[in-house]
Amino acid sequence: MAYFRKRANGWEYRISYKDNLGKYRQKSKGGFRTKSEASHAANQAELEIAQGILKDERVTYADYFLKWCEVYKKPHITYATYRKYLHIHDVIVTHFGNTKLGNMTASKYQSVVNNLSEIYVWTTIKTFHSYNRQVAKQAMHDGLITRNFTELAKLSSKVESKEKELKFLQSDEYQMLIAEMADTVKRQTHFCIYLIATTGLRFSEALGLTIDDIDCDNLIINVDKTYKVYSGDIGWHPTKNKQSVRQIPINKSFVDTYRKYLAEGYIPNEENRLIIKSSNTAINKVLRKHLNKKFTAHGLRHTYASYLINNNVDLMVVSKILGHKNLNTTLKVYAHLFDTKITQEFEQTRQAFGANLGQTKKKP
């Protein structure tokens, strides 16, 4: 809403509004001969503000990036994912400083990308560029810039990526751990370890299980939600993807251990959550004590998957049990296991043909 007052040099309007960063701003202009002229000009100014045409030259690119994250990303992603955006924001603050949004240029952006290529791996460079490209596109849509300064950027990295080595337990370690945890399920963290080791659940999926999710009659666990305990993300959440809503087979041994847990370790609660007192830190501590080495809950998930693969469970079934988005994900994560299996299958292929194949001749 505009306010008007008469001054020595004529009529003046003053408009209060929130800018693209949610901060209160004022726009004013004076020198109009009549109040009618001032009112007409104020109406035009308010229209420009509403349409996002008004350019606030004080807005830095870093501030606009952060506001974009808060408006377009934070409400729709997990806190763990949101932290990736905050990390990129920190990089922007470091390398662009107080550069105003309106002063961002393609050459300035390319210069920063070149500098980053000296210290970050290729995947980080791609992520940095992807986020900034989206922000620049939004700024154009808001009418704050006229060109997408990221559009023709050349990406590269001089830092060699280190392949993340997946950690697995050997079969004897794996089975011994399961047995030890089954004997001590009165401790919730021990049951959580047992649960993940025998089902391949993600940690948040394990915490999201309720008593109703365990079908002892049909030997099935139903997974349709998660529960997170990280700061800023505490509470119920949907699964990672629609494929993660799934059923996981269990056996009678699991049911026996589960019923033992209900009698000795389960803590009744209003939400019927199966596990309410466990954390990644607690799990890592117990695993280190029992295995005499660093190991994680996610490592248990990988071990479970590799155990199924090595026991010739169909790969499509393994993918569905793990809740992977598609079969390619499973192939990519566990590719190294198939190298060994291919060697074994080659030998079976040789034996299938046999030494006498093709030796039988037609009788004259």
318 CB neighbour count, 10 Å cutoff: 20
Residues 6 and 27 in one domain: yes
Question: What local confidence, expressed as pLDDT, does residue 65 receive?
Answer: 95
What totals of helices (H) and strands (E) does the chain contain, helices first?
14, 8
- The DSSP symbol for 172 reads H
Residues 75 and 124 in one domain: yes
Residues 247 and 338 in one domain: yes
Residues 40 and 65 in one domain: no
Domain harbouring 250, CATH code: 1.10.443.10
86 CB neighbour count, 10 Å cutoff: 13
pLDDT at 54 over 50: no
Q: What CA–CA distance (Å, rounded) separates 125 from 76?
A: 23
Assigned domain for 249 exists? yes
Return the bridge partners of 60, or none: 100
Quick check: helix, strand or coil at residue 207?
helix
The per-residue pLDDT for range 22-36, each reduced to its tens digit, is: 677 788 999 999 988
* Residue 123 structural domain: 61-142
Assigned domain for 276 exists? yes
Question: What local confidence, expressed as pLDDT, does residue 46 receive?
Answer: 78
Q: What is the pTM of this model?
A: 0.67
Q: Indicate the number of domains in the chain.
A: 3
Assigned domain for 154 exists? no
Domain harbouring 134, CATH code: 1.10.150.130
Residues 31 and 72 in one domain: no
| The token pair that represents 249 in the structure block | 């087979």
HSE of 15 in the Cβ direction (CA atoms, 13 Å)?
A: 22
The per-residue pLDDT for range 285-333, each reduced to its tens digit, is: 999 999 999 999 999 999 999 999 989 899 999 999 999 999 998 888 8
Assigned domain for 157 exists? no
Q: What CA–CA distance (Å, rounded) separates 207 from 275?
A: 6
Q: Residue 343: pLDDT band by 50, 70, 90 thresholds?
A: confident
The per-residue pLDDT for range 153-203, each reduced to its tens digit, is: 999 999 987 766 668 899 999 999 999 999 999 999 999 999 999 999 999
